[in-house]
């Protein structure tokens, strides 16, 4: 792996590595990109990206745009962030000058809104960047980050609550089929389901309170939350409608 001067160099190495792992040549990857709606990612473009060819001034002839990163990630079936921040493959990722090359795991967590922006200091330590944006009179960087990263935090909570509710719903269905509606096991499973449902509704209430769009959910969950009065804005929680087998629309 050559020296990564900019992030496009690292991304290019990852594209080449995953392409090779799949046994694809550049022409085949170009064909897959075209099939996905990116015909501009030709054999020549991919060659320039992967080889990192430079012009007379030493600048890359072909950098990787955000749109291209997403296309390559889809074509190679790789998480997009893993192309930019390859966990377990490198110790540092290229970054703007003051970043100084963060560890890919920190960069990953920053990209997903888990940790604030940071940089590597002269001693090699990762430091949270508490400077003001645009100079001393500019907005406080940490205050801005804390506000704008809220959606990422809320959606992480939503994912966890949804997973817990899904598990509880499965256990309730199992208890009903195995022991019957009036059995102690069923009552216990039902109580656990309702607890998880309440926790799930609390996250949805936070989302609607903040003006976030809420995903559609199974009618049974939504009906239960409405029946027990757990939703502050029931109309803001859409119901997922399953298509009939004959419905091709």
For residues 140 and 231, give the distance between their C-alpha atoms in angstroms, rounded to a whole number: 35
Which of 52, 81, 110 terminates a domain? The answer is 81
Residues 188/175, Cβ–Cβ less than 8 Å:
yes
Burial class (CB in 10 A: 0-12, 13-18, 19+), 11: buried
DSSP-assigned letter for residue 216: P
Per the domain annotation, does 211 fall within a domain? yes
pLDDT in tens, the chain (249 residues): 345 688 999 999 999 999 999 999 999 999 999 999 999 999 999 999 999 888 888 888 889 999 999 999 999 999 999 999 999 999 999 877 667 789 999 999 999 999 999 988 888 889 999 999 999 999 999 999 999 999 999 999 999 999 999 999 999 999 999 999 999 999 999 999 999 999 999 999 999 999 999 999 999 999 999 999 999 999 999 998 766 555 443
Which of 128, 148, 168 terminates a domain? The answer is 148
Q: Which long-range contacts (CB under 8 A, 24 or more apart) does 184-193 make?
A: 192/168, 193/165, 193/168, 193/169
What pLDDT was estimated at residue 192?
98
For residues 198 and 130, give the distance between their C-alpha atoms in angstroms, rounded to a whole number: 38
Domain shared by 156 and 142, yes or no: no
Q: Which domain holds residue 179?
A: 150-240
Domain shared by 192 and 229, yes or no: yes
We report the CATH number of the domain holding residue 22 as 1.10.260.40
∠ Cα 147 153 154 (to 5°)? 100
- Number of structural domains in the chain: 3
Per the domain annotation, does 107 fall within a domain? yes
Q: Which long-range contacts (CB under 8 A, 24 or more apart) does 34-38 make?
A: 36/71, 36/74, 36/75, 37/71, 38/67, 38/68, 38/71
Per the domain annotation, does 17 fall within a domain? yes
What pLDDT was estimated at residue 3?
55
Which of 132, 148, 164 terminates a domain? The answer is 148
Domain shared by 142 and 158, yes or no: no
Per the domain annotation, does 246 fall within a domain? no
Task: Please name which of 239, 244, 241, 242 lies closest in space to residue 217, comparing C-alpha atoms.
Answer: 239
Domain shared by 58 and 100, yes or no: no
């Amino acid at each position: 792996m050559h020296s990564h001067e900019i992030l496009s160099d690292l991304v290019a190495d990852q594209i080449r590595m995953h392409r090779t792992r799949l046994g694809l040549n550049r022409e085949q990857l170009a064909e897959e990109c075209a099939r996905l709606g990116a015909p501009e990612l030709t054999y020549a473009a991919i060659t320039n990206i992967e080889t990192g060819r430079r012009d007379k001034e030493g600048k890359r002839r072909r950098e990787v745009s955000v749109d291209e990163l997403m296309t390559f990630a889809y074509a190679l079936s790789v998480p997009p962030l893993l192309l930019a921040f390859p966990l377990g493959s490198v110790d540092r990722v290229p970054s703007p000058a003051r970043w100084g090359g963060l560890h890919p795991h920190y960069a990953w967590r920053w990209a997903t809104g888990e940790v604030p922006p940071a940089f590597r200091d002269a001693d090699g330590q990762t430091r949270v960047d508490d400077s003001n944006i645009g100079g001393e009179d500019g907005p406080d960087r940490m205050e801005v980050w804390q506000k704008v990263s809220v959606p990422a935090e809320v959606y992480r909570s939503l994912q966890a609550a949804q997973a817990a509710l899904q598990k509880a719903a499965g256990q309730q269905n199992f208890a009903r089929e195995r022991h019957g509606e009036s059995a102690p096991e069923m009552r216990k499973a039902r109580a656990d389901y309702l607890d998880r449902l309440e926790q799930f509704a609390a996250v949805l209430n936070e989302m609607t309170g903040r003006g976030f769009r809420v995903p559609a959910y199974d009618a049974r969950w939504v009906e239960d939350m409405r029946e027990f009065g757990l939703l502050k804005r029931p109309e803001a929680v859409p119901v997922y409608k399953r298509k009939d087998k004959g419905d091709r629309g």
